[in-house]
Structure 1
Amino acid sequence: MRLLVVLFFTLISAGCALKPEPAPLLSMPKKPSLQSQRFQVEYQTEHAAPKVKSVQLPAHAVSKNQTVVIVADKTSVTDTLYTQLTEALTAKQLKVVEDGTQADYTLSIHQLDLELIEDTEYQLVKPEKPLPLFDEVAKQFPVQQCATILGQVSMRLTHKKTGDVVWFAKSSIDSASFHREPLIYSFVQQQVIKNELEVASFVHEQNSEQARMARINQEVTIPAYQTITQMTALKKEQGPCNRTEISALTPMMQYYLSSILIDKIKVQ
Structure 2
Amino acid sequence: MRFLVVSLFILLSTGCAITKQPAEPLAMPLKPTLKSQTYQLEYTKEHSSPKVKSVQLPAHKVVRNQTVKIITDKASVTDKLLSQISQALNDKQLKVTTKNNSDYTLTIQQLDLTFTDDTKYAIKQPEKPFTLYSNVAQQYPTQQCAAIFAQVSMRLTHKSSGDVVWFAKSSIDSASFHREPLIYNFTEEQKITNELEVVAFIHQQNTDEARIERLGKDIQIPQYKTLSKLSSLTKLSGPCNRTEVSALTPMMQFYLSSILIDKIKVQ
Using the size of structure 1 for normalisation, the TM-score is 0.87
Supply the AA of the counterpart residue of 1:246: V
Partner Cα distance (2:249, 2:84) in 1:
14
Q: Does 1:239 align with 2:253?
A: no
Counterpart in 2 of 1:6?
none
Supply the AA of the counterpart residue of 2:65: N
Counterpart in 2 of 1:121?
120
Counterpart in 2 of 1:29?
29
Counterpart in 1 of 2:198?
199
What is the CA deviation profile of residues 23-42 of structure 1, one whole-angstrom value per residue up to 9, with x for unaligned ones? 44433211111222222221
CA drift of 1:20 comes to 5.2
What is the CA deviation profile of residues 143-171 of structure 1, one whole-angstrom value per residue up to 9, with x for unaligned ones? 11111111111111112222221211111
Supply the AA of the counterpart residue of 2:47: H
CA drift of 1:212 comes to 4.3
Cα 1:25–1:74, aligned 2, differ >3 Å: closer, same or farther?
farther
Counterpart in 2 of 1:189?
188
What is the CA deviation profile of residues 207-246 of structure 1, one whole-angstrom value per residue up to 9, with x for unaligned ones? 4455445444444322101123333222222211111111
List, as ranges, runs of 4+ consecutive aligned residues in structure 1 with deviation greater than 6 Å: 14-19
Cα 1:267–1:200, aligned 2, differ >3 Å: closer, same or farther?
same
What is the CA deviation profile of residues 178-224 of structure 1, one whole-angstrom value per residue up to 9, with x for unaligned ones? 01111122222332222223222322333445544544444432210
Partner Cα distance (2:114, 2:15) in 1:
90
Counterpart in 1 of 2:179?
180
**Does 172-181 or 57-66 show the bigger shift?**
57-66
Cα 1:95–1:27, aligned 2, differ >3 Å: closer, same or farther?
same
Number of equivalent positions: 257
What is the CA deviation profile of residues 65-98 of structure 1, one whole-angstrom value per residue up to 9, with x for unaligned ones? 1111111122221111111101100011100012
What is the CA deviation profile of residues 10-63 of structure 1, one whole-angstrom value per residue up to 9, with x for unaligned ones? x99x99998755544433211111222222221110100101111112222111
Q: Does 1:267 align with 2:266?
A: yes
Counterpart in 1 of 2:252?
253
Which blocks of at least 5 consecutive residues in structure 2 are unaligned?
1-10
What is the CA deviation profile of residues 109-137 of structure 1, one whole-angstrom value per residue up to 9, with x for unaligned ones? 11111111111111111122131200111
Partner Cα distance (1:80, 1:58) in 2:
32
Query: The residue matched to 2:73 in structure 1 has which SS?
Result: coil
Cα 1:199–1:165, aligned 2, differ >3 Å: closer, same or farther?
same
Partner Cα distance (2:161, 2:200) in 1:
92
Partner Cα distance (1:114, 1:207) in 2:
72
**Does 176-185 or 159-168 show the bigger shift?**
159-168
Partner Cα distance (2:81, 2:204) in 1:
72
Counterpart in 1 of 2:136?
137
